[in-house]
Amino acid sequence: MSSPPFRRNSCRGAACGSRASFECHVRRRGSSCSYFSPGAQSEDFSVSLSQPIFTITLRFLLAIDLWLSKRLGMCACEESPWGSIRPLVRLLEFSGHVIPWLIGTIYTLLHGESVEEQEIMLNLALALLLDLLLVRAVKTVVRRRRPAQNRSDILSAFFVERYSFPSGHATRAAMCARFLLAQLVDTASMRVLVVGWAALVSLSRLLLARHYVTDVGFGLAMGYCQYSLVERLWVTWDCLQDLLLLRLTERFNRAYDGLWMADWKH
């Protein structure tokens, strides 16, 4: 006598289960960007009162960093709130990439009209290479993963980095901006333009959800300090010529000594 209600309940449970699985499947297919997923990040920020005050403070700051970075990722994909301006933000991102900077610097170095211009471009090229090495070293040590809502594009596929801290675009923007302000820019309007460009490039990393807020903040500070190192290690054109001449003289001496020894043996 109790079998029909039991069958009805079991059928109702099976229907609910299939409906839930169908809704979950539709939700997974409909959201191509994890910006809207509340469980996108897997970091555990659970805090216990028995932990040291330093650990509690650090976890609290990391939670704020994660929350703020997720809120700022407004162009993470086309379905994001500001997804319509994503191509423009990606263009800003590409303007801070190392590829166009290196190509433009080397081209100006080879076609410079004066020795002073070539000297500036030479040190800018060395500064870009130094930035690549330092950022790669810090990323290898820290090994922080990128935000979960980050989505790679064609323009961001060059020199793909798995790690997030610090932001290489932010370090490059700060260093190049300070370099240009100190060496090339001499008008107020151009100074505002250079500073605004560096700020927008750094902001693009947050809007596209490429980095966390702390990645960009530390990258700006790191890039600002990198120029001080470049200024201390400034390579003059005369010093470079003397160095090249010394190396060339050493090679000629070695070749002459080798020929002289060969003739002496014969």
pLDDT level of residue 146 (50, 70, 90 thresholds): confident
What is the tens place of the pLDDT at every residue in 247-263?
555 555 565 555 555 55
Percent of the chain with pLDDT over 70: 66
- Among candidates 35, 29, 26, which has minimal Cα distance to 77? 35
Residues known to be catalytic: 169, 211
Looking at residue 228, what is its pLDDT? 92
Average the pLDDT over each of 56-60, 102-106, 172-176, 206-210 and give the range with the smallest value: 56-60
Note the Cα 3 to chain centre separation in Å: 64
Q: Compute the distance between CA of residue 32 and CA of residue 30 in angstroms, rounded to an integer.
A: 6
Average the pLDDT over each of 27-36, 45-54, 62-71, 194-203 and give the range with the smallest value: 27-36
Looking at residue 70, what is its pLDDT? 87
Looking at residue 148, what is its pLDDT? 76
What is the tens place of the pLDDT at every residue in 185-233?
889 999 999 999 999 999 999 999 889 999 999 999 999 999 999 999 8
Burial of 121 (0-12, 13-18, 19+ CB in 10 A): buried
pTM over 0.75: no
